[in-house]
Chain A
């Protein structure tokens, strides 16, 4: 298979404009003859569904939650980047492009990143027009804050609930189209298979999560905006329902999976408190604007934080990275936290934590200003831990947060299955090996509002699709696969719950494919995961039937897919004999412990092809060219 990223010719500043002109258009009267399926209603899916409907296409949208407003984009706290340069501090589209390529440790596709930076400014305008209540200055203009990995203030925010407000904006646009009859919304509905006819994506098979009914929906193109796969780790900042089922089923039908090993470990999460833990809670990166990260200088120092004098504290980020200080990118901050905890200097139960201290900020700004900036986060922290961060420093530890890997897509966001698109976190994205803070919201909305609606039109205008109906053999086969699988899950009647397998998989992944990875650990996972999977299919216990609301059945199906995807992640991590961004191979580091890339051998995106059960997947390479931002050792010192 030859991978063609279909990057347009010409200088980087002109690629998107010239591509937009060259793409074919669907005449307004003809748009209503096309139907597009959009799976997932987060920032990417919700924005795409609304925008496609506004353009005149018929849209069928799907989400597993009870309402499209609940997609996990809602939990993003800190903000959204845009190269507006409203602060007059030297920002530009080129600088956002540069920061993103560098922040991604030179493993992203330049043309995509440039386009992302270009449309970032339109996103802010669109969201403001929708009524998103962004933070304002007294003069009525938009406020900005700074974020990790950048030296300009380009992040727009709505208190600590930016994701919520942007999603509600997209949701309201979507509901408007639902009200107008242009979008047919299917909530509590999960995609379980893809329908492919003559090599082209033509529909999906879903299960109604209330009645259990298996249904087929046909269309002219299918868009997956189903988010990332961080829940492979069981404990992550993702929502409990976040899953990889849609992308994994697509992968098994021929969509290559790009860079599965690139996962982002977020440095500021609330540490694990016990075995019953069901998820991890993020404390926004924006806290690092005013909070100072430190641990005791000496290992095993058990004194209360207030009793440790400043001279006996190690503000290790400020010490190691004087120019970026507490605002180094996430991968760097996470590894630094792990390093001090490995030295025995971690704080809190189990020694897996570092302090994020606001005492200086409260002294400098006053408690009121701190409350205005971070009040809801402080409140959330206190609820979970029972400690008051106005009085004692927060304890934080890294946790899985985001996946840069995903379905491989070309410049048009189409996967290797014609007619199947992946947008937002579901694709292998524009973030390379590490995503900068406040860039996920930007990318989701860029794909959904401003990129996919153009590129999908080109496909629909230039492809001749034969009419099909629900009696087509491919439809029947897809439905049969779904029913067979559901019955299989229900008929095992073993002893262990889906969660117990999921926890075990998560621990394997966190220990051996988490913040630090090495050959021994990854090889051990490649033995252990298939064993665990085999046990799953023999000893799983799912109560109830397939014809009712059955949350355990939903979980079991998702865990089955995670058990396959986890193995691919380890394989990719083993194969990539270098460290880059969120992928840190312990064998490959600089003398001072920073990630050591190998650009000669690994300046490519790895796109994996599924070869069938029990067969080794095959890797295809898309080589990455850096014509504008020349790779250097990333330095935040």
Chain B
């Protein structure tokens, strides 16, 4: 099949950027979307032009490095799928597609479809962990975890940190990402000792990074390649409110 691509080209963070049109003839339906772009890039290099820069690594939908908008939808038209796992059989001959980077103030564009998502790392660094030094753990089976709790925690922990939720949200909110980590740890006994401070610190950090607020639109859940549920956001809000009552100094800090 033949596909026409309009790709956002932007040399660096300072450049204004704009769309450029490319032709992808001879696309096989067994190709992944990124393999199709590889072929386009080989052609660009042969023609002495700069290839399209896009992030990717594992190409099996788990590392979370890839992702861009395909005609306005984060990771493209197939639900529950990262762009590296999206295959061309989901498109048809003659399709014209528009590829854009994640658009959010907290994710500055580095080049073309590549953005800086280090804000996510800083949110985790602010509290997305259990403080347990190597060597200080008790026997694994000494902590009983009810199977339903373990399963729910796993559902939340499946987040790959790709940023699609932010890109899809009209407010560019990182609530789905942040709440997935808060939920994962709040659902497990191991996460209880730090549950309150984790909720406060992570939400505070998320706001400081310049992400917008959640207004329950649900776009994030719709595009999440790991199908993380927005009930995690409800859990985050509940934990945050409870923690705010319990931890007044933290609330005072937030009011500053």
- Chain A interface residues (CB < 8 Å from chain B): 47, 50-51, 54, 65-70, 72, 74-75, 84, 86, 122, 124-131, 133-142, 158-159, 161, 163-165, 168, 171-173, 175-176, 178-179, 185, 187, 210, 237, 239-241, 273-274, 276-279, 281-282, 379-380, 383-386, 449-450, 453, 495, 497, 499-500, 541, 543-544, 548-549, 551-552
Contact = CB atoms under 8 A, between A and B. Distances in A.
Nearest to A129: B137
A168 B188 CA distance: 15
B45 A383 contact: no
A277 B38 CA distance: 10
A272 to B, nearest CB: 10
B161 A69 contact: yes
A130 B132 contact: yes
A67 B161 contact: yes
Contact of B133 (A54, A175, A279): A54
A499 B131 CA distance: 43
Given A75-B58, A128-B190, A176 B129 contact: yes
Contacts of A163: 62
A533 B62 CA distance: 33
Contact of B89 (A72, A126, A386): A386
20 contacts: A70-B57, A125-B139, A125-B140, A164-B160, A173-B129, A173-B134, A185-B121, A273-B30, A279-B59, A282-B60, A380-B61, A384-B32, A385-B30, A449-B135, A453-B134, A497-B45, A497-B46, A544-B50, A549-B114, A551-B51
A220 to B, nearest CB: 20
A618 B145 CA distance: 54
B49 to A, nearest CB: 7
Most chain B CB within a 10 A radius of its CB, from A50, A131, A179, A500: A131
A136 to B, nearest CB: 4
- The secondary structure that dominates the B interface is loop
B11 A548 contact: yes
B143 A128 contact: yes
B50 to A, nearest CB: 5
Contacts of A66: 55, 65, 116-118
B191 interface: yes
B243 interface: no
Contacts of A47: 134
Most chain A CB within a 10 A radius of its CB, from B34, B35, B56, B150: B150
Interface string B1-40: 0000000000110000000000000001111101110110
A240 B191 contact: no
A393 to B, nearest CB: 19
A65 B57 contact: yes
Contacts of B153: 131, 133
A72 B63 contact: yes
Given A125-B140, A135-B150, A69 B58 contact: no
Nearest to A156: B140
Contacts of A168: 157
Interface string B80-93: 11000111010000
B118 A161 contact: no
Contact of A140 (B55, B60, B147): B147
Interface string B121-137: 10011101111111111
A131 B188 contact: yes
A240 B137 contact: no
A239 B137 contact: no
A241 B57 contact: yes
Given A278-B32, A278-B34, A176 B57 contact: no
A240 B57 contact: yes
Contacts of B139: 125
B231 interface: no
Contacts of B64: 67, 69-70
A94 B87 CA distance: 46
A550 B126 CA distance: 32
Given A179-B126, A239-B57, A541-B45, A386 B87 contact: yes
B78 interface: yes
Most chain A CB within a 10 A radius of its CB, from B32, B48, B58, B185: B58
Given A67-B161, A178-B125, A126 B58 contact: no
B138 interface: yes
B89 A67 contact: no
B256 to A, nearest CB: 20
B53 interface: yes
Given A131-B188, A172-B129, A276 B35 contact: yes
Contacts of B240: none
Given A210-B110, A548-B111, A54 B58 contact: no
Contacts of A133: 150, 153-154, 157, 184, 188
Interface in B157-187: 157-158, 160-161, 184-185
Contacts of B38: 276, 278, 499
B3 to A, nearest CB: 14
